[in-house]
Amino acid sequence: MATEEGAGAAAHAGSRPDARPTLRRLVPRTALGLAGLLFAMSVASAFTGAVLYAYYEYRLGQTDDRVDEFAASFEGAVEDALGRIETERDAAVGAVQTQLDDLEKFAASGETLTALLEQAAPSVWFVATLDEAGQPSVGSAFVVFSDSEQSFLLTSYNTVRAATQNPAPEITVRKGDDVLGVELTSWDPANDLALLTVDRPSLPALTWAPTDPPLQIGDRVFAVSGLGAAGGAISQGFVADVSGNGIQHDSPVGAAFQGGPLVNSNGEVVAVASRAYSPLGFAPEAVFFGVPIRTSCAEVLRCPDPETQPT
């Protein structure tokens, strides 16, 4: 009986499953098999790494694209902002300049007046003579052209009127300590113009203002005298009216200023300052009439071209 029980136990033990045969089937028994298994595992690992790297590159590319897109939009926003700033700045500068231009129309600065006087002074001389009653008669004159022998100056007929008669008083022009005798060459009483000749060659002449653009109402004009501590004196005013007969303005024209140049803001001659010229037939008071500079070509000067100054 014991034998039967042992045989039964042995039979029962033979029927229990054993895990080791399955493991033996999975694990190669030869070196070649092991090498193949390792190769397969390496390939799988490499493939997994490649997939992971590709995914990493994909995500990195998306991140770079988003960064580039943000940078591009940010750069565009910055450029737009800079453009708006520049536009606003230019507009502000233009507004300020407009305000400054408006202010300059009311009063020229001391620097402007000094610069204009320095520009005109070498060509403007103080005129001294006597009137018909033997009393002093004064004014200014300015060089309109010169050559290698003489220089020619325009002045006010009202200043040198007595010199058109006999006996004629002496006429002198002065600049500082330099005093020259001059000759009255021609005159035009209707336009208060006279031409003086001095035996001093190559004196600097003032430039005449061009006809284009024309002088406008509201433009600033400056009367220049040849008498002053700085070599001359200057007064400023505004154009009240412009016509072919005269330039009406409110620049103060004292006795020493009559016959001197009336210049624009560029220092160019637009007219001859006068205290006596009255194209409307009545005596001017505070608002004087300047004789248009090209009117001098009609009687007292010989201008080769009406649009240019004499040479």
Task: Please indicate, yes or no, whether residues 37 and 182 belong to a single structural domain of this protein.
Answer: no
Is 223 part of a structural domain of the chain? yes
Task: Please indicate, yes or no, whether residues 101 and 180 belong to a single structural domain of this protein.
Answer: no
Q: Residue 140 pLDDT more than 70?
A: yes
pTM above 0.85, yes or no: no
Task: Please indicate, yes or no, whether residues 199 and 283 belong to a single structural domain of this protein.
Answer: yes
pLDDT score, position 260 = 98
Is 260 part of a structural domain of the chain? yes
Task: Please indicate, yes or no, whether residues 289 and 157 belong to a single structural domain of this protein.
Answer: yes
pLDDT digit string (tens) for 89-117?
A: 788 777 766 665 655 555 566 788 999 99
Percentage of the chain surpassing pLDDT 90?
53
Domain boundary among 106, 137, 169: 106
Could you tell me the sign of the dihedral formed by the alpha carbons of 304, 300, 201, 120, in that order? negative
pLDDT digit string (tens) for 209-227?
A: 998 999 999 999 999 999 9
Q: CA-CA distance, 228 to 283, in Å (whole number)?
A: 27
pLDDT score, position 55 = 73
Is 2 part of a structural domain of the chain? no
Task: Please indicate, yes or no, whether residues 204 and 289 belong to a single structural domain of this protein.
Answer: yes
pLDDT score, position 29 = 65
Report DSSP letters for 12-36, one per residue.
HHHHS--SHHHHHHHS-SSHHHHHH
Kindly report the CATH number assigned to the domain that includes residue 122. Answer: 2.40.10.120
Cα angle, residue 20 at apex, residues 19 and 23 outer, rounded to 5°: 95
pLDDT digit string (tens) for 263-306?
A: 999 999 999 999 999 988 877 777 899 999 999 998 898 887 65
Q: What is the mean pLDDT of residues 237-253?
A: 93
pLDDT digit string (tens) for 182-203?
A: 999 999 999 999 999 999 999 9
Q: Residue 54 pLDDT more than 80?
A: no
Is 57 part of a structural domain of the chain? yes
Tokens found for residue 72: 């591009």
Domain boundary among 89, 106, 123: 106
Residue that has been written with the tokens 């390939």 in this structure: 43
Domain total of the chain: 2
Domain that holds residue 28: 19-106
pLDDT score, position 118 = 94
Domain boundary among 106, 139, 165: 106
Q: CA-CA distance, 168 to 275, in Å (whole number)?
A: 22
